[in-house]
């Protein structure tokens, strides 16, 4: 068996906290997910990242892995079957909740331990599907109906989506995977977020354009701003500049711990379509003879 450095796979230190491991996993899962990545080895990397997270997210599994790693093994080193013993941990592979992992993982967490107990029959294979949500649906959460194929038949379920679910988050539905000799595997939903015509998302912060007329920017105004939390009234001070960002605290993505919303000012001059409008622009130009824009 070839040793795998799961910390190296996730790009974290051995002292990394559970939150740091989870954050690294989510970032890499989004990067290498076969549905979105264009890299030729994305599927294999995605599997490796999932395997590393499965090994390190559980405190007991992580302790067993760390005990082996402390023996000095490095990536690619040969590990004899006996190298897995002595940890005092005995994991039933039917409890692992994931499938398709390497021989190294199976030997470490699912093989015989100490007294030579044989592995229990496996559950059925886990299924995975991508669930694309609008930004509003992910923000608010709620029930979603999904359809998927299992054993050649189509199944439909109603799934509860937590409010503020981020892209790349996995939702595991126990017992909804393929049926095996020791029960059914799980269905793993990987959340995707559809592009939005109005908002851009940066973590839990949202941003949108705020179009102002020249006189609103120059003199100040009170204008409506659309956010995921509804339409709000925002006061614009005199002398607003294009590109300036105005923050609405707590009005970004999420319900329990929302981010902020940033309204980025863009100034739009209406076209002069009548003689009176053209004269108004000429009169305005005369009032600012020293204006230099270039």
Encode pLDDT of 53-92 as tens digits.
998 998 888 888 888 788 777 888 777 654 454 343 344 4
User: Residue 202: beta bridge partners?
Assistant: 205
The gap from C-alpha 224 to its chain's centroid, in whole angstroms, comes to 30
What local confidence, expressed as pLDDT, does residue 110 receive? 61
Last residue in a domain, options 193, 221, 246: 193
Residues 91 and 147 in one domain: no
Rounded to two decimals, the pTM is: 0.56
Residues 6+ apart with CB under 8 A from 217: 236, 239, 240, 241, 242, 265, 267
Residues 105 and 80 in one domain: yes
Residues 153 and 221 in one domain: no
Is residue 137 in some structural domain? yes
CA atoms within 13 A on the CB side of 179: 5
What local confidence, expressed as pLDDT, does residue 165 receive? 92
Is residue 122 in some structural domain? no
* 105 compared with 147, residue with greater pLDDT: 147
Given a cut of 90, is residue 290 above it in pLDDT?
no
Domain region containing 244 = 207-287
Nearest to 98 by CA among 143, 47, 136: 47
Residues 133 and 106 in one domain: no
Is residue 115 in some structural domain? no
Cα–Cα separations (whole angstroms), residue 200 to 29, 228, 252, 261: 21, 11, 10, 10
Cα–Cα separations (whole angstroms), residue 1 to 23, 64, 117, 120, 204: 29, 16, 20, 21, 42
What local confidence, expressed as pLDDT, does residue 81 receive? 55
Q: Name the 3-class secondary structure at 69.
A: helix
Residues 6+ apart with CB under 8 A from 204: 164, 166, 252, 253, 254, 257, 258, 259
Number of domains in the chain: 3
Residue 45: CATH number of its domain = 1.10.287.110
Q: Is the dihedral of CA 89, 93, 95, 96 positive or negative?
A: positive
Residue 188 near residue 172, CB atoms below 8 Å: yes
Residue 256: CATH number of its domain = 2.60.260.20
Last residue in a domain, options 164, 193, 222: 193
């Amino acid at each position: 068996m070839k040793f795998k450095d799961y910390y190296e796979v996730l790009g974290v230190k051995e002292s990394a906290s559970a939150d740091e491991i989870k954050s690294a996993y989510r970032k890499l899962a989004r990067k290498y997910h076969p549905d979105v990545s264009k890299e030729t080895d994305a599927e294999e990397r995605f599997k490796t990242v999932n395997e590393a997270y499965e090994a390190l997210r559980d405190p007991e599994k992580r302790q067993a892995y760390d005990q082996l790693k402390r023996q000095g093994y490095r990536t690619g080193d040969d590990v004899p079957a006996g190298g897995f013993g002595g940890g005092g941990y005995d994991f039933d592979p039917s409890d692992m909740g994931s499938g398709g992992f390497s021989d190294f993982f199976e030997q470490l967490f699912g093989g015989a331990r100490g007294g030579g107990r044989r592995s229990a029959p496996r559950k059925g294979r886990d299924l995975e599907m991508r669930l694309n949500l609008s930004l509003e649906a992910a923000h608010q959460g709620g029930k979603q109906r999904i359809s998927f194929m299992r054993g050649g038949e189509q199944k439909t379920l109603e799934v509860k989506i937590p409010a503020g679910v981020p892209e790349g988050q996995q939702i595991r539905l126990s017992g909804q995977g393929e049926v095996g000799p020791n029960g059914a595997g799980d269905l793993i939903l990987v959340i995707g977020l559809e592009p939005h015509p109005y908002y851009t998302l940066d973590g839990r912060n949202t941003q949108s354009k705020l179009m102002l007329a020249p006189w609103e920017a120059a003199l100040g105004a009170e204008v409506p701003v659309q956010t995921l939390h509804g339409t709000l009234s925002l006061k614009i001070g005199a002398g607003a500049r294009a590109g300036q960002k105005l923050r609405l605290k707590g009005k970004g993505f999420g319900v329990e711990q929302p981010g902020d919303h940033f309204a980025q000012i863009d100034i739009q001059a209406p076209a002069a379509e009548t003689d009176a409008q053209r004269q108004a622009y000429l009169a305005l130009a005369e009032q600012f003879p020293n204006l230099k824009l270039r």
